[in-house]
Amino acid sequence: MSLLSTFRIFVPMEAPFVNIHTHRPTGRHIEPSAIGIHPWDAADGDLATVEQHIDSAMAVGEIGLDYLHGHRERQEELFIRQLAMAETRAKPVILHCVRAFEPTMRLLKGFRLPAVLFHGFIGSPQQAAQAVAAGYLLSFGMRSFASPRTVRAMRQTPPEQLFLETDDDPAPIETVYARAAELLEMPLAKLRQTIYGNYRSIFPPEIGAAGPDKK
């Protein structure tokens, strides 16, 4: 279950770019810090390292299931344990989910988390609807835009549950926003304000700054 914040959020007219998940941080935009064991690294994952650094991270991630890589049972074990760590510390989670949507949704039901974000979403409109109905957030990037069905999923995602990212794509976040604004038929300034408001609903100012946003 996801418990999103309900307090009033101030959104500046010129909202900063939020890059909710990136492997190429620039320091020029809002780029939240996260700690977690990627499912590709499940075989050698060290939960002690996560435990050591989790309090200084803004989120737990990217974690999850990838049924195209590695040992499923080990991935699920680590996923459950990291979800429990996130729940205990009231940390949002950033998910990696490949060919494992239903198992991921099933496991998430057992936890109460401040926010759950599917990063790099490339699923179907039906999967998007299920995630949104559960209160979860969806993040899209350049790879998402290459899939017509995922573009449809993005268009049906409520703006208040939408994020954008670069992940490991070399395209700058400004390009991702410009492309998303075009596909959504939304003014770029409004898209920036919307996503910044979403960011602040998960990471209020007292949580800490991520990049140039120090308010």
Q: Are 87 and 119 in contact (CB under 8 A)?
A: no
Residue-level pLDDT at 190: 97
pLDDT mean for each 10 residues of the chain (215 residues): 48 85 96 97 94 96 95 96 97 97 98 98 97 98 97 98 97 98 98 97 74 56
Residue-level pLDDT at 60: 98
Using CB atoms within 10 A of its CB, is residue 147 exposed (0-12), middle (13-18) or buried (19+)? middle
**Residue 183 forms part of a structural domain:** yes
**Residue 81 forms part of a structural domain:** yes
Containing domain of residue 137, as a range?
A: 35-203
Structural domains of the chain, count = 1
Residue-level pLDDT at 5: 44
What CATH number has the domain bearing residue 151? 3.20.20.140
Q: Tokens 């700054």 belong to which residue?
A: 209
**Residue 136 forms part of a structural domain:** yes
Residue-level pLDDT at 13: 65
**Residue 12 forms part of a structural domain:** no
Give the phi and the psi of residue 96 in degrees, each rounded to 5.
Answer: -105, 120
Q: Are 152 and 140 in contact (CB under 8 A)?
A: no
**Residue 71 forms part of a structural domain:** yes
**Residue 10 forms part of a structural domain:** no
Say what the pTM is: 0.90
